[in-house]
Amino acid sequence: MLFFYKALTPDGKDRCGFFLSRSHLKGVRTLLAADLWPLCLFSIHFSSLFAKCFRFNFFRSDKKFMPLRIWLTLLERIVLVMQSGRTLMQSLTSISAIPMQELQGTFLRGALTQLKWGRFFYEVIQQLPKNWVEGQHIKLVQCAEMGGYLQRGLQCWLDQLQLKVQIRKQVVNSFMYPAFVMLLATGVLLILCFYVLPEFKTFLTSQHIVFSWTLKMIFSFGECITLFFPFILLGGMLFCIAFRRSLNPWMAQIAPKLPRYSYFAEPLQLGLFAMNFSALLKNGVYLLESLRLSLACLTYKPLDAENIVQDLKNGTPLSVALDGLPNFFVETLQSAELGGCLSSVLSSLSQHYLQLYNRRLTQFIKWLEPICLILIALLIIVLILSLFTPITHMFQNFNFE
């Protein structure tokens, strides 16, 4: 059977290709044996050779086949079992006896084998794709494992992953209603362009009515959509397929240039920075290393981590080295330095800025929904006035006898 696959390489890149296998399960195992983490797998069946047609069966080994969610579920199980007083080896052994997803079972078997060989757990998770495990997570687990409080370190890592998934879900759910409204408006617009506007143009032309400039623009727009819509749709699909790997970096460069980007990005990234910084400090990571790993979260206002670390080595206070951040954040850090409670204050700052981000996002969505409805209503009003005004004039000038 012929398969088309899309998988993650160990360095976090996407790879696509074809291969032959007897079943879907053996195909997944083949990809895992090649150090590839499958994202999706298509089985291609040539069902009718004489009819020269084929059909695609979309297959995923789980209906919600999301690598991050798969790893999050497994990490939750490990932390829950370790909270009962078991060691890491005992937890992995007990979890491996439970039926689970193929990728989770493969990781557990590999982790148990490597731990029996004397390797550390942070060395095991370094082999996971970079999209799953970041540098600060590996350092957090390493220091927690060396310090003898691995369960607490894994709990901090789990909290960060759960927050990441929660923020992603919150953003997607927030834009569902506006996206549905815009999709509905696009469908109505296409119906108008394909069916309604040509009928009106034929009727008005037969009555020898002079078109206004707004009516000319509407008819010209409808004709362009009618003629070029299939080509635009096909070209957009081909563009997304051809440049799918470069779209994310391109969007990452364009997003900071958008208006009001920092209004949402600043509290979110400051909250994540404070949360990572606090978690690393609480789990025994040195201050300079914690700061270097946490500064990667600040992309809305990039700071030179090496220069900041060098200033700290030269005796500069932390609040002075981070003077590029908002005043409230810097002043709070200064008070925390003087009071000797940096990690707890950073945790409070994280909660404050994440709550601020939630309020701003909720307020933005609250205003976005009526704005979309108002724009659609204005579009409908313009169409109605442009189409029915000449008809009204025609009937007013009609001489009944």
Closest CA to 265 of 257, 294, 133, 162: 257
Write down the pLDDT at residue 61.
36
Q: If DSSP codes are grouped into helix, strand and coil, which group holds residue 59? A: strand
End-to-end CA distance of the chain: 79
User: In order along the chain (401 residues), what is the average pLDDT of each group of 10 residues?
Assistant: 76 76 76 76 52 34 50 83 84 76 71 82 78 77 81 83 83 80 80 79 76 77 78 77 63 65 83 86 82 79 81 85 86 85 87 89 82 81 76 65 45
Query: 220-238 b/e with 16+ CB inside 10 Å = b?
Result: eebeebeeeeeeeeeeeee
Write down the pLDDT at residue 399.
52
Query: Across the beta sheet with 14-20, what order do the strands follow?
Result: 14-20, 2-8, 37-48, 53-59
Are 355 and 234 in the same domain? no
Residue 24 lies in a domain: yes
CA 290 – CA 287 distance, rounded (Å): 5
Instruction: Please report, for the domain that includes residue 163, its CATH number.
Output: 1.20.81.30
CA 235 – CA 366 distance, rounded (Å): 34
Residue 394 lies in a domain: no
Type of residue at 290: S
* Structural domains counted in the chain: 4
* pTM of the complete model: 0.67
C-beta separation of 90 from 74 below 8 A: no
- The token pair at 132 is 């799953």
Type of residue at 315: G
CA 215 – CA 199 distance, rounded (Å): 14
Residue 203 lies in a domain: yes
Are 259 and 376 in the same domain? yes
Are 196 and 84 in the same domain? no
Write down the pLDDT at residue 183.
83
Residue 297 lies in a domain: yes
CA 117 – CA 90 distance, rounded (Å): 15
What's the pLDDT tens digit per position in 334-370?
888 888 888 888 888 888 988 998 888 888 888 887 8
CA 134 – CA 147 distance, rounded (Å): 20
Q: Which residues contact 111 (CB under 8 A, 6 or more apart)?
A: 92, 121, 124
Range of the domain at 194: 182-242
Residue 393 lies in a domain: no
CA 204 – CA 238 distance, rounded (Å): 39
Are 161 and 288 in the same domain? no
Write down the pLDDT at residue 313.
86
